[in-house]
Amino acid sequence: MLDNNYHILWMIVAVALPVFIFNFKCFSFLDGDVKHVGRNYNIDALRYFLAAFVAMHHFSLTINFIKSGLWLYPSGHDLDAFIGNFAVCIFFMISAYLFWGRCSNDDTNWFKVLIGRLFRIGPMFLVSAILCWLLAYKFGVRNETTFFSERSTYHWFDMGLTDIRPDIFGFKDTRLLNAGVMWTLPYEWMFYFSLPALSLFVNKKNSIAVIFAVIFITFYFLKDIDKLSVALLAMFAMGALTYELKSKIKFEVHKIKMSMISSLLLVISGFLFIKQDSISLEASLVYACFFFSVCIGGNPFLALGTKGARRLGEISFSLYLLHGVVWYLFGRFMLKFDMTGHVFLYYILASLAFLISCLLSAFTYHFFEAKMISIGRKVQSRIF
């Protein structure tokens, strides 16, 4: 691999390249779901960069997994580790930001909400799972373990409700064939299922008080129970708090100044947590400041203002679930033809592989994911 500084430069270029390409008119077919009244375009674009951060986070891990069977980073790749964890935390904040407001809305039909989430998450979950099965069948030891001999393999169909992904076809750590990204989905589902219960006592007058109560309990009573789960609960709480602050307080911001602030907060986040636990209660406070700055108009490093970034934001869930499969195929290809020693060619092809992930995600979004979301809306419309 490249020297770490050059590796970081490559990641920046690889992430920026699809933004440039998706600006072209030929990708205007993605604009249909971008042009919605009331959409926060900063969040739309941010979702792409978060998904791309997760992909870069998994690049070195996947290559090392193929070479050695170990899911470990090469020495010195601290930034790779940080950006993926940071992205997951902000993704959880976005989920809370988008859905918390429904708790204080008496007209919310929670069955409709959950049906919508099922049609949003489930279809691409199954696509990712099927690709894992195909790779496991191709590269596994099929005479040792078969898919049909494993009673617990129904978890591959559970739409992300659990984090149980048994090995199939004798392939050790099958779940890592898509970079293991499905681990976040049970937390998403737990959040969505908690909302109907919270709505029983949350209203417009006490909603902020409820959030502060959750934050208080999280920081002072739950911090030593399950550090990962508690930290992610804090991320959801910070996203909900951001929603409340933005909806209840009118902020007059200078966009250039706020963009400078959000850029600085992003740098501070990395500086503070690149060598520490980047999914933690302490991190949630800093990340929340960054997320809040973006929600009220900040554009970190002016990266969120392009049409290409917004289009890519639309396909971010597909990209999140599919990039690991592309990285795995890329790694197998490079090892098969003994090309890992050609560093320049290696990174050129890696850039191409990530671009292919984006193009594949655009295809699956337009021809499958968006259509399943539309079907979900039709199902919702029949529920009274």
Residue 5 has pLDDT above 50, yes or no: yes
How far apart, in whole angstroms, are the C-alpha atoms of residue 29 and residue 200? Answer: 41
pLDDT value for 146: 53
Q: For the ranges 100-109, 150-159, 203-212, 226-235, which has the lowest average pLDDT?
A: 150-159
Give the CA radius of gyration of the chain. 21
More confident position, 89 or 384: 89
Task: Identify the pLDDT of residue 189.
Answer: 97
- Average pLDDT for 32-54: 82
- Determine whether 365 is exposed, middle or buried from the number of CB atoms within 10 Å of its CB (0-12, 13-18, 19+): buried
- Calculate the average pLDDT of the chain: 92
Mean pLDDT of the 220-226 span: 90
* pLDDT given for residue 3 in this prediction: 79
> What percentage of residues in the chain have a pLDDT greater than 90?
78
pLDDT in tens, 256-286: 999 999 999 999 999 999 988 999 999 999 9
pLDDT, tens only, 240-260: 999 999 998 888 888 899 999
Which pLDDT score, from 0 to 100, does residue 341 have? 77
Is pLDDT at 177 greater than 50 in this prediction? yes
Domain edges within the chain: 4-381
pLDDT for residue 58 is more than 90: yes
pLDDT of 34 reads: 45
For 125-138, the pLDDT digits (tens) are 999 999 999 999 89
Q: Between residues 236 and 223, which one has the greater pLDDT?
A: 236
Residue 145 is predicted with a pLDDT of: 52
Q: What confidence score (pLDDT) does residue 339 get? A: 80
Region 155-159 average pLDDT: 91
Q: What is the pLDDT of residues 311-360, one digit of tens each?
A: 999 999 999 999 999 999 999 999 888 887 788 999 999 999 999 999 99
Query: What percent of the chain shows pLDDT beyond 70?
Result: 95
pLDDT at 40: 84
Give the mean model confidence (pLDDT) for residues 28-46: 77
